[in-house]
Amino acid sequence: MTEREARISIHDNHKAAAFFGVNDENLRYINDICSADIFARGGEIYIRGSEEEVEEAYELLHRLMDVVESEGQISINDINYYRHLIRCGDKARHQDIVSGTLLKTARGKPIKAKTLGQKKYIEAILENDIVFGIGPAGTGKTYLAAVMAVRALKNREVERIILVRPAVEAGEKLGFLPGDFIEKVNPYLRPLYDGLFDILGVDVTQRYLEKNIIEIAPLAYMRGRTLNNAFIILDEAQNTTPQQMKMFLTRLGFGSKAVITGDVTQVDLPKEEYSGLIEIQKILKNVEGIAFQYLTKEDVIRHPLVQKIIDAYEAYEAKDLRQDK
């Protein structure tokens, strides 16, 4: 087998430092996951291996340089994601994925799509009045829904944000939590709160809550209401029954948008209950103005181990299914 060599030069010291990572951790990780041999001398990166190995590594390094140019840094998640795209034959580069800054956090950090799945999810929210964001933990479906809600509020497209969640326990018992029903449900809305705190800051979020610009509405309290000029987020929708899902969707009023998020692999309903989120995909799949956006483990933007955990669970559950047959 003929060995081939390629070289990439990084002339800017700051970009080189961002690319290599602290103590060269990024470069070491890239070398570990690639079949080619990759090493650096100064600002020069050398790639050695077979033609196929070098081509794959060379393409990965170039795509990661795009990330450094745009974001000023790269992460292990970036490395894993772009390697996955290359192996799937997807030619999307970083600039194809980040669709401009959606908003800035309270600390001034720009919020952008990080994966193609996230970009399609954002586009679906912009183009449709009802969007279902379905996928595993860590894909950003809840956080991005909160981002788009705040964006719509700031652009005066809506007058308020309504956060909804079914009060279904994942092994916990609501009755043992202190306070009234709203106070009992509030801890379950923590992912939405965390997103709003990050985007708006704690003080602004609290002020909006006091003024009812942001409203917490447990799903059980939605019956009989019509919600106009609002951006409504139903989180953990896998834990709605079919009747609850129908009730929620028919609350939508004029000038409103709804984003429904959930993970159909984490249903906490009693065994005799069927998930409304699973059923609704069959009922509304061909309705114009409604979009289903499916995020996958490849869109996970948490700690790299989260993706491995999802893989392990999928393998385990697939094995169980085979044994049951």
Question: CATH number for the domain including 265?
Answer: 3.40.50.300
Dmax (CA) of the chain: 73
Residue 105: the pLDDT is 85
Domain shared by 180 and 312, yes or no:
yes
| 266 lies in the same domain as 152 | yes
Question: Which of 37, 65, 97 is the last residue in one of the domains?
Answer: 97
Residue matched to tokens 């996928």: 135
Show the domain range for 49.
4-97
118/190 same-domain check: yes
Q: Are 238 and 264 in contact (CB under 8 A)?
A: yes
Nearest CA-CA partner of 4 in 50, 66, 38, 53:
50
Shared-domain flag, residues 112 and 248: yes
Q: Does one domain contain both 281 and 175?
A: yes
Task: Tell me the β-bridge partners of 261.
Answer: 133
- HSE-CB at 121 with a 13 A cutoff on CA atoms is 31
For the chain, the domain total comes to 2
Together in a domain, 159 and 268: yes
Residue count (the chain): 325
> What's the whole-model pTM score?
0.78
Tell me the sheet residues that pair with 262: 134
pLDDT of residue 171: 41
| 213 and 186 housed in the same domain | yes
The verdict on 136 and 235 lying in the same domain is yes
pLDDT tens-place values along the chain, 325 residues long: 578 889 999 888 898 899 998 888 999 999 998 999 998 888 889 999 999 999 999 999 999 998 888 888 888 888 888 888 888 888 777 777 776 778 888 888 888 888 889 999 999 999 999 999 999 988 999 999 999 999 999 999 999 999 998 876 544 444 444 554 455 556 667 777 888 888 999 899 999 999 999 998 888 888 888 899 999 999 999 999 999 999 999 999 999 999 999 999 888 888 878 999 999 999 998 999 999 999 988 888 766 677 678 778 878 877 766 666 5
Q: Do 194 and 300 share a domain, yes or no? A: yes
Domain end position, chosen among 56, 71, 97: 97
240 and 307 together in one domain:
yes
Of the residues 97, 113, 136, which one is the last residue of a structural domain? 97
Handedness of CA 46, 51, 57, 62 (dihedral sign): positive
Q: In this structure, which amino acid lies at residue 292? A: F
Which residues, other chains included, contact 315 with Cβ-Cβ below 8 Å and sequence gap of 6+?
none
Same domain, 203 and 142: yes
Angle between helices 25-33 and 76-87 (to 10 degrees): 30
250 and 267 part of one domain: yes
CATH classification of the domain holding 80: 3.30.1370.10
pLDDT at 172: 41
